[in-house]
Chain A
Amino acid sequence: MTWLVPLPVVIPLVGAAVTLLLRRHPNLQRSVSLLALSATLAVAVALLALTAGGGPLVVDVGGWAAPLGIVLVADRLAALMLVVSAAVTLCVLVYSIGQGLADGDDATPVSVYHPAYLILTAGVTNAFLAGDLFNLYVGFEILLAASYVLITIGATESRIRDGTTYVVVSLLSSLIFLTAIGLIYAATGTLNLAQLAGRLDALPESLQLGLQSMLLLAFGIKAAVFPLSAWLPDSYPTAIAPVTAVFAGLLTKVGVYAIIRTQTLLFPDGPASGIVLVAALLTMIVGILGAVAQSDIKRLLSFTLVSHIGYMLFGIGLATDAGLSGAIFYVVHHIIIQTTLFLAAGLIERRGGTTTLDRLGGLARLAPVLGVLFFLPALNLAGIPPFSGFLGKLGLLQAGVAADGVLAWLLVGGSVVTSLLTLYAIGRVWNLAFWRTPREPEAAAASPVTGRVLPRLMVGATLALVVLGTGLTVVSGPLFDVTSRAAAELRDREPYVRAVFGEETP
């Protein structure tokens, strides 16, 4: 069944090609996009089922056996990430279709949204499947290039300003990544991750540290790790809601995924885990303090996004099975929840005309459904049990307590404080936007983008994600089984390497 492995990349790309050709048929375009992402989801689910049973699935692209060619590897982690990302991108696509985000500007001589969105998806899936360092870079480039287009869609003044920050910072991170690849190739003569695992071990420790820190830096920017994170709250909130949502949910996690992959496979015993833990703590605390200081929902959510990246780093930095498992679970949870919240924020903007707290009010009464769509994921984000945010945090706290180091204890404390402040921040949002009586009750009706009735597709897509996020609680048992086995597989390294090279390891 290895033929399934390339499909999560190929299908969206085919979709992109077709939607480019269908510029004049918006309805068909939408169908193609939906079809492509649904198919991707189906393939991802199949891959997860296959990898959960057996070992990693490996494809030598073009028949060029490793290490000569590029390998695509679907192990448990990759398959899990594929499923989640496919589900989320599909929901967001539905939402954006609901938003009436057709490629309406007839003047633009090419279609923009659908191809860019599908290519973004392909980039994400490629990054998850890459078994080759340079191909990982290419995956990143695909998703980044598409993200540049999506974040500036509409090209308004603020989107250009904020988009510039995003684009330039991302370009710098790409350059750093490429530099790291150049250095790693210079030192090892290979790009194959499985082979690198062996060859990097042979290098002097300081050189390993240098290479590792360059990779960490590149991925840390994308994952928005403090102090590399300040660009994120300045850039994400301005984009259109579905774009912000999918970026916030997914793109940062690709960075986290890359950190997990390289930390475990390439530098398992490196001295950098201390750095990771310190960064985790700072990211949590500085991020959540930023959220507390905000007075706009989207910006506030962006800061919580940064802050909660700290949780994932916490688990990665612990470098134990439990920690890694918790981190992976948290990644899954956070992709879904953060996306949901930004979609809900989009609905808030549509209903209330703004996302600025001091101009919103009374939404709980005006739009009770919206209230539910925001409240549940918000509680989930704040780690209120029994939601997945709590379960992820629980896994991490258990791992931290079990690790029993000074940094680990500090992080346990930091996690708790972050959780509380997250609750405080979203509690403020709820109090102001949903409970307080609005200052100008009819202001909402005045704005052109707002409507008394929220488009059904948008609500439906958000609801689907809310259900998905809540459903994580129900399936948390099996899910934690998967993440634990994925973590064990990662930490072992052996299954991955063996899957790529067969029995004889080069």
Chain B
Amino acid sequence: MLVLLTVHLIAAMLAPPLVRWLGLRAFSVLALVPAAGLGWALTHTAAMREGRAVAEVYPWAGRLGLELAFRMTTLSWLMVLLVGGVGALALVYCGRYFTAAEPGSGRFAGVFVGFAGAMLGLIVSDNLIVLYVFWELTTVFSYLLIGHDPSSRAARRAALQALIVTTLGGLAMLVGVIMLGEHAGTYRWSQVVGALPDGGYLAVAVILLLLGALSKSAIFPFSFWLPAAMAAPTPVSAYLHAAAMVKAGVFLVALLGPALADAASWRPTVLIAGTVTLLFGGWTALRQHDLKLLLAYGTVSQLGLLVVVLGAGFRDAALAGAMMLLAHAMFKAALFFVVGIIDHTTGTRDLRELSGLRRSAPALWVVTVLAAASMAGVPPLAGFVGKEAIFEAFLHGGRWEQLVLAGVVSGSALTVAYTLRFLWGAFSDKPAVAPRTVHRVSWAFLAPAALLAAGGLVAGLGAAPLDGLLAGYAGLYSDEGGYHLAVWHGLTPALALSALVLAAGAAVFGLTLRTRWWRRLRLPMDGATGYERSADGLGRLAVEVTGATQRGSLPVYLGTILLVLVVLGGGALVAGRPWPGRFHLWDNPLQLVPAAVLVVAAVFATRARRRLAAVVLVGVTGYATAVLFVLHGAPDLALTQFLVETCTMVMFVLVLRRLPGHFSVRPLVASRRIRVAIGIAVGAVVSGLAYVATAGRQATAISTAFGEPAVSYGGGRNIVNVTLVDIRAWDTMGEISVLLVAAIGVASMVFGGSPRLLRPRRPPPPTPPRGQVWLMAGHTLDAGLRSPILEVVTRLVFHTIVLFSVYLLFAGHNAPGGGFAGGLVVGLALVLRYLAGGRHELDAAAPVDAGAVLGTGLFIALGTGLTAMFLGGEVLQSALLDWHLPVLGHVHFVTSTFFDVGVYLVVIGVILNILRSLGAEIDRHEQAERVAAEARPEEELV
């Protein structure tokens, strides 16, 4: 079976090129593929007769209970015959139905064959999940087939509707499948039946499974999608909506029935939904003017009948159902083909516009009558045999079955009525309508329909041999039914019912021709309205929920996050009461001083209305933090913090020089209160957590063990520095990457292309004056900005500062300092050059690509790590080198210094890059604007 499926898959993929190559003839070639399925099934007829199953298993995802387990039993055999046979005929038919110019026919062919393969897979799957897989594939393929002509809005919407409705059911079914599978520990249906759950669990699972089946087979209340799907090309309708896809639901009912029919929820669901569908579909079919829609509603009705019969849950009904399944597939597909021919040759399907076809197309007429008669249940056709069996089966049931029988009889009468309407509508001579002439319906075009119609006759006459085959399925029910299929059982009550049905149907048809009042009878709300309302409701819900949750406002998002923090953290705090009582006010009373400064500055920073005032106040908190670091025994931190604070101040000044001095908006009091409230809540929660967490510490910190190895293994006495460049050098490597990429980002942000800032050619800096100059390019600065004192002092201290940075770099291993601090110091030295001499001075001070500095620094740091690896150590492992040299004495060197040099260079590159961007480039923007403003003097520059 895997081979067959693979053949379908390959054929589907080859179909588009094949159609391009062979044109419409390709369809006939492709028809061989489903026909192969038919042939393959026929070779197993004997096995079916003997009640043997044909099975194959291939592994897939065992952990999920997924395996490609295939199993063909009588039911599936029957379905394979139908799917393969009708599929092959439909493809042959397609070759005539489409014109060579039809766009997308290659894609169509591929999807069609793919669909046939999916249907085949669905039928032969033993693993329920694999069955679901094929189930959904048919849904998707049908979506594509219904939407074959996507320029039609109706087709698009119908396709989506069918997709959604059947997927909805499918998902429910999936859950049902999982419920059964998880309970049984296997997903093979042949094994699940032996390990079914019971009670409410089973009832729920059954409901879910039936939801899938009923929606797929367009059973009430899901019926609406099928008529809408008639937007598809007619061969599709014939195949999907007569023989194949809609039968999937019926098939599922038939498959599950023998095992699940006794579940509490099975019969009520199946019988009620089926009967309602049978009646509703038949009634609605009577109202249609479009032949295709008439057939569609007829199909709905018949599917209701099939569900009722196959789901009734006893042997005779099952046998009858199987026969009916066969009959329906043949006559309905044939009739769809006929409609297609009519549509194709006359250009209309509206029965009010059709007249005189009987005479102009007599062959068509004969074929149609044959198929229609089967549908109506006229002996000796297959439809008749099926109906008879149904009546017989239900005649002998209990009160429920009697009730159902009443429904079935009424429904069958309606079937007769719409059959007559179909024949009358398509073929009769209507006085008011000009007769249509049909030119030459080719035999090849008609052949598929004729074959199927004839099949109905053959099956009817050959009911007895069929009985032997189909009984294999019916026998799955353990009850004592003993009915046999046959054309003639004698004068039975069932025969009487058949006659009654034909008579009543004719009467109803006659009535509908003469009166109109019945047209007003409609269901108060059908599924289509339900779908529309659901879709609208979904839209409203989506808009409301999205409007409520997606406010588009950054403060709201941040506030939400913080509220969650308050709730979760606060909740944990509340749950943790009473809090531990041990605390101390301070480690050192001096901490109070910076703490007080910090609190005051922080509070006033929130209230400042001038940008720089706020910046200064925040800066003060930074300085105070640094002092707290000093008091806490963290000189490295204080050192870095002071440097960073200075850098930050410079960066703020560089940017804020261009922004207005005051904050633009004065915040509203109300929203300010909310902000403050959230702030206080967050502060309280974080404080609380900090308190509780610190007080909760029992274990000793791992860092208490750093001291000795820092010296002996890391080669440095400053443990913080050893931690940074050795113990946790990996972090530091990441951290310089962060810095580096942030610096890149600054450049990307400031230099980013923008038409307004298209750069003029860089004017050459004025040539330096002769004589004593203090800086390389101080003269390029606007005279008003220059200061000789600043220039001279910069000149005098610059090298000293750089020297100091080198000191920090090398001293850092044993004293406060290190690569970060050193790099920042050089950065600030460059800042000084820039402040004193302007942007050209910066270029002169560091005439290198900042990227090169960054890259080199990162490379050195990484190189240290990799070198250690190449030498057989771990990444970033350091080595201690000690030499005794003449004159110099003992020289002690740690290779992690190289790493620190990398850090140093990266930090320099970062500051340089920031300075190039926020300093020099913004200078240039400013200058460009000034030039532009001078060019247009009428514009006032504020």
B791-813 interface code vs A (CB 8 A; 1 in, 0 out): 00000000000000000000000
Which residues of A have CB within 8 Å of B913? 109-110
Give chain B nearest CB distance to A421 CB in angstroms: 8
B572 close to A13 (CB less than 8 A): no
Complex Cα distance, B147 from A431, in Å, reads 9
Q: Which partner residue on chain A sits nearest B876 by CB separation?
A: A62
Complex Cα distance, B826 from A268, in Å, reads 48
Give chain A nearest CB distance to B750 CB in angstroms: 8
Which residues of A have CB within 8 Å of B849? 23, 109-110
B744 close to A110 (CB less than 8 A): yes
* B671 close to chain A: CB less than 8 A: no
A217 close to B568 (CB less than 8 A): yes
B730 close to A214 (CB less than 8 A): no
Residues A290 and B550 in contact in the complex (CB < 8 Å), given A189-B702, A190-B702: yes
* B51 close to chain A: CB less than 8 A: no
Within 8 A of A (CB), among B160-178: 160, 163-164, 167-168, 171-172, 174-175, 178
B553-567 interface code vs A (CB 8 A; 1 in, 0 out): 010111011101100
* A172 close to chain B: CB less than 8 A: yes
A107 close to B753 (CB less than 8 A): yes
A135 close to B731 (CB less than 8 A): yes
B279-322 interface code vs A (CB 8 A; 1 in, 0 out): 00000000000000000000000000000000000000000000
A183 close to B560 (CB less than 8 A): no
Residues A195 and B702 in contact in the complex (CB < 8 Å), given A62-B874, A123-B734, A289-B545: yes
Interface segment, one of B133-141, B343-351, B884-892: B133-141
Which residues of A have CB within 8 Å of B62? 477, 480
Within 8 A of B (CB), among A123-147: 123, 126, 134-135, 138-139, 141-142, 145-146
* B515 close to chain A: CB less than 8 A: no
* B99 close to chain A: CB less than 8 A: no
Q: Which partner residue on chain A sits nearest B692 by CB separation?
A: A207
Complex Cα distance, B696 from A184, in Å, reads 10
- Could you say which of B137, B160, B558, B734 contacts A427, with CB atoms under 8 Å apart? B160
A179 close to B858 (CB less than 8 A): no
A64 close to B690 (CB less than 8 A): no
B859 close to A14 (CB less than 8 A): yes
Complex Cα distance, B689 from A182, in Å, reads 10
* A45 close to chain B: CB less than 8 A: no
B550 close to A233 (CB less than 8 A): yes
Interface segment, one of B449-457, B496-504, B657-665, B721-729: B721-729
Residues A412 and B175 in contact in the complex (CB < 8 Å), given A62-B877, A145-B742, A186-B697: yes
Residues A68 and B61 in contact in the complex (CB < 8 Å), given A186-B697, A210-B576, A419-B171: no
Which residues of B have CB within 8 Å of A72? 730
A292 close to B874 (CB less than 8 A): no
Complex Cα distance, B144 from A434, in Å, reads 12
Give chain A nearest CB distance to B827 CB in angstroms: 16
A484 close to B63 (CB less than 8 A): yes
Q: Is the interface of A mostly helix, strand, loop or mixed?
A: helix
Complex Cα distance, B731 from A290, in Å, reads 39
Q: What is the size, in residues, of chain B's interface with A at 8 Å between Cβ atoms?
A: 132
- Could you say which of A21, A155, A292, A398 contacts B851, with CB atoms under 8 Å apart? A21
Residues A231 and B160 in contact in the complex (CB < 8 Å), given A68-B706, A190-B701: no
A431 close to B538 (CB less than 8 A): no
Complex Cα distance, B868 from A6, in Å, reads 12
A420 close to B167 (CB less than 8 A): yes
Q: Which partner residue on chain A sits nearest B103 by CB separation?
A: A365
A176 close to B554 (CB less than 8 A): no
A172 close to B558 (CB less than 8 A): yes
B699 close to A199 (CB less than 8 A): yes
Q: Which partner residue on chain A sits nearest B572 by CB separation?
A: A210
Which residues of A have CB within 8 Å of B735? 138, 141
* A436 close to chain B: CB less than 8 A: yes
Which residues of A have CB within 8 Å of B66? 391, 394, 476-477
A110 close to B696 (CB less than 8 A): no
Give chain A nearest CB distance to B400 CB in angstroms: 32
* B869 close to chain A: CB less than 8 A: yes
Residues A155 and B565 in contact in the complex (CB < 8 Å), given A186-B690, A480-B63: no
- Could you say which of A62, A115, A292 contacts B875, with CB atoms under 8 Å apart? A62
Q: Which partner residue on chain B sits nearest A322 by CB separation?
A: B63
Which residues of A have CB within 8 Å of B179? 401
A63 close to B873 (CB less than 8 A): yes
Complex Cα distance, B65 from A412, in Å, reads 18
Which residues of A have CB within 8 Å of B686? 179
B751 close to A108 (CB less than 8 A): yes
Within 8 A of B (CB), among A323-337: 325
* A234 close to chain B: CB less than 8 A: yes
- Could you say which of A60, A62, A207 contacts B878, with CB atoms under 8 Å apart? A62
Residues A209 and B874 in contact in the complex (CB < 8 Å), given A289-B541, A385-B137, A431-B156: no
B97-134 interface code vs A (CB 8 A; 1 in, 0 out): 00000011001000000000000000000000100110
Q: Is the interface of B mostly helix, strand, loop or mixed?
A: helix
Q: Which partner residue on chain A sits nearest B187 by CB separation?
A: A398
B677-692 interface code vs A (CB 8 A; 1 in, 0 out): 0000000001001101
* B667 close to chain A: CB less than 8 A: no
Complex Cα distance, B709 from A154, in Å, reads 48
B572 close to A206 (CB less than 8 A): yes
Which residues of A have CB within 8 Å of B129? 394
Interface segment, one of A221-229, A246-254, A452-460, A496-504: A221-229
A110 close to B854 (CB less than 8 A): yes
Complex Cα distance, B738 from A126, in Å, reads 13
Interface segment, one of A79-87, A161-169, A309-317, A352-360: A161-169
- Could you say which of B171, B690, B706, B743 contacts A416, with CB atoms under 8 Å apart? B171
Q: Which partner residue on chain B sits nearest A434 by CB separation?
A: B150
A189 close to B701 (CB less than 8 A): yes
B858 close to A61 (CB less than 8 A): no
* B573 close to chain A: CB less than 8 A: yes
A427 close to B164 (CB less than 8 A): yes
- Could you say which of A67, A142, A155, A183 contacts B754, with CB atoms under 8 Å apart? A155
Which residues of B have CB within 8 Å of A216? 568
Give chain B nearest CB distance to A58 CB in angstroms: 11
Q: Which partner residue on chain B sits nearest A173 by CB separation?
A: B561
A398 close to B564 (CB less than 8 A): no
Complex Cα distance, B104 from A394, in Å, reads 34
A145 close to B64 (CB less than 8 A): no
Which residues of A have CB within 8 Å of B159? 431
Q: Which partner residue on chain B sits nearest A117 by CB separation?
A: B741
Which residues of A have CB within 8 Å of B749? 152, 155
Q: Which of B65, B569, B698, B877 has the most CB of A within 10 A?
A: B569
* A18 close to chain B: CB less than 8 A: yes
Complex Cα distance, B695 from A186, in Å, reads 8
Residues A119 and B702 in contact in the complex (CB < 8 Å), given A62-B726, A179-B686: no
B741 close to A115 (CB less than 8 A): yes
Within 8 A of B (CB), among A143-159: 145-146, 148-149, 152-155
A190 close to B742 (CB less than 8 A): no
Q: Which partner residue on chain A sits nearest B869 by CB separation?
A: A3
Give chain A nearest CB distance to B635 CB in angstroms: 20
* A28 close to chain B: CB less than 8 A: no
- Could you say which of B63, B550, B852 contacts A230, with CB atoms under 8 Å apart? B550
Residues A402 and B182 in contact in the complex (CB < 8 Å), given A13-B858, A21-B855, A477-B59: yes
B690 close to A230 (CB less than 8 A): no
- Could you say which of B136, B576, B694 contacts A384, with CB atoms under 8 Å apart? B136
Which residues of A have CB within 8 Å of B837? none
7 closest residue pairs by CB, A with B: A206-B576, A435-B150, A20-B855, A155-B752, A210-B572, A189-B701, A149-B745
Extra contacts, 19 of them, besides A119-B737, A233-B550 (Cβ < 8 A), are A10-B862, A10-B875, A13-B858, A14-B859, A20-B854, A123-B734, A148-B742, A165-B554, A221-B561, A289-B542, A289-B545, A293-B545, A384-B137, A391-B61, A398-B178, A420-B167, A420-B171, A436-B150, A477-B66
**9 A-B Cβ contacts within 8 A?**
A10-B865, A16-B740, A17-B855, A20-B854, A109-B751, A146-B741, A183-B689, A217-B561, A435-B147
